[in-house]
Amino acid sequence: MTTRLTVPTDHPYDVVIGNGVHEELRGLIGYGRGVLRVAIIHAPAMREQAEQLRKPLVADSLDVHLIEVPDSEQAKTADVLSFCWKVLGELGFTRSDVIVGLGGGATTDLAGFVAASWLRGVRFVNVPTTVLGMVDAAVGGKTGINTPEGKNLVGAFHEPAGVLCDLDVLGSLPAAELRSGLAEIVKCGFIADPTILELIEAAPEAVSDATSPIVAELITKGIAVKARAVAGDLRETAGGAEIGREALNYGHTFGHAVERFEGYRIRHGEAISIGMVYVAEIAHRSGLIDDELLARHRSILTTLGLPTTYRPGIWEALSATMRVDKKTRGDQLRFVVLDGLASPVILAGPDESLIFDAYRAISE
């Protein structure tokens, strides 16, 4: 069965989810609307899949080029970005041409920023190949690269023309990558859709199979949560009583600090898992959530084989990184926390002793 979700922003686009849906790419790139060239940006492991995407497009008389970039976060650098610009320039890429990002979240983040920055914005389509890429990076129009100072500090909001989630590719997904993606789905459960948590708690064994119907349902639910958040606050500018898109950053302030400290050798979902437990500790110590909801964070993440603790003795380094997080305003730290299940809020400027105590509570 194929599911089509529309992200209803100012420039609506479809997210197509199902098995064997690669034939949908032709429509998403806008074939017949002046497209002459297509550049497929992919990591080395996706070379075969890139060729599979390329062949039918070439049969449609399109000029299709493959641009191979490094794996994972190593792709999200200024040097790799510059390399992609060079290739596009040599190809004579115009504003009517299309970029396709094929791979995990790092690849689609990079491909989106290449598209956003080339000629001040060209059309692009994301074809995520991991659970994490499908439910997080591919949808929402956030594109960017990392710098030595932090993750995703340079980028642009640039919405895709469409997103293609072919569930067939998940059959070869390593177990650790599946768990990493599930962390982002769990996040969606805590901030917006508790039925996600109930599905996982009812059938944890089935969730460990990337090809199971439950995983397909969880992916669809996670994408739906993100689509709703993005539609209401594309550029993350909601204010007042509305948290808007910032809710999607639940666990990310601390999680990004962990990723940077580990040199991005830890998977994104693993870091976000730790980050969610950390902010749950902050919310609990602030009187916003009860013992049961705090314990539920640890329980469900542990059931999935995700980490819920982190190394002690490095608070100063983590704190310094959090202070250049995108959600920080001036010198004031801001955390997305819960004041109840599916009720995210911003906690601005919490007491330093409180956030340090939360760190100690998750330290091994």
Going across the sheet that includes 123-128, the strands are 3-7, 13-18, 162-166, 123-128, 98-103, 37-42, 63-68
- The answer to whether the CB of 304 falls within 8 A of the CB of 204 is yes
Question: Is 105 annotated to bind ligand?
Answer: yes
Question: Is 151 annotated to bind ligand?
Answer: yes
142 is catalytic: yes
In the chain, the DSSP E strands lie at 3-7, 13-18, 37-42, 63-68, 98-103, 123-128, 142-147, 150-157, 162-166, 334-338, 344-348
158 is catalytic: no
Q: What is the DSSP string of 236-258?
A: S---TT--GGGGGGTTHHHHHHH
179 is catalytic: no
CB within 8 Å of 334: residues ≥ 6 apart = 253, 327, 328, 346, 347, 348, 349
292 is catalytic: no
Q: Which of 249, 267, 285, 296 is catalytic?
A: 249
268 is catalytic: yes
Q: Which of 268, 284, 296, 326 is catalytic?
A: 268
Q: Which of 33, 48, 55, 120 is catalytic?
A: 120
Question: Is 284 annotated to bind ligand?
Answer: no
Residue 242, φ and ψ in degrees, nearest 5: -90, 125
Q: Which of 245, 267, 284, 334 is catalytic?
A: 245
- 285: β partners: none
249 is catalytic: yes
**What does the block give as tokens for 220?**
């669809």
Distances in Å between the alpha carbon of 150 and those of 105, 272, 341?
17, 15, 30
Question: Is 295 annotated to bind ligand?
Answer: no
Question: Is 109 annotated to bind ligand?
Answer: yes
Question: Is 142 annotated to bind ligand?
Answer: yes
* Of 273, 190, 191, the residue nearest 229 (C-alpha): 191
Length of the chain: 364
Q: Which of 54, 142, 179, 326 is catalytic?
A: 142
245 is catalytic: yes
285 is catalytic: no
86 is catalytic: no
Q: Which of 252, 285, 296, 327 is catalytic?
A: 252
55 is catalytic: no
In the block, tokens 């460990």 appear at 208
Q: Which of 159, 236, 246, 270 is catalytic?
A: 236
Question: Is 106 annotated to bind ligand?
Answer: yes
- The answer to whether the CB of 163 falls within 8 A of the CB of 254 is no
Question: Is 130 annotated to bind ligand?
Answer: yes
Provide the annotated binding site for Zn(2+): 184, 252, 268
- Which residues are identified as catalytic? 120, 142, 184, 226, 236, 245, 249, 252, 256, 268
Provide the annotated binding site: 105-109, 129-130, 142, 151, 184, 252, 268
Provide the annotated binding site for NAD(+): 105-109, 129-130, 142, 151
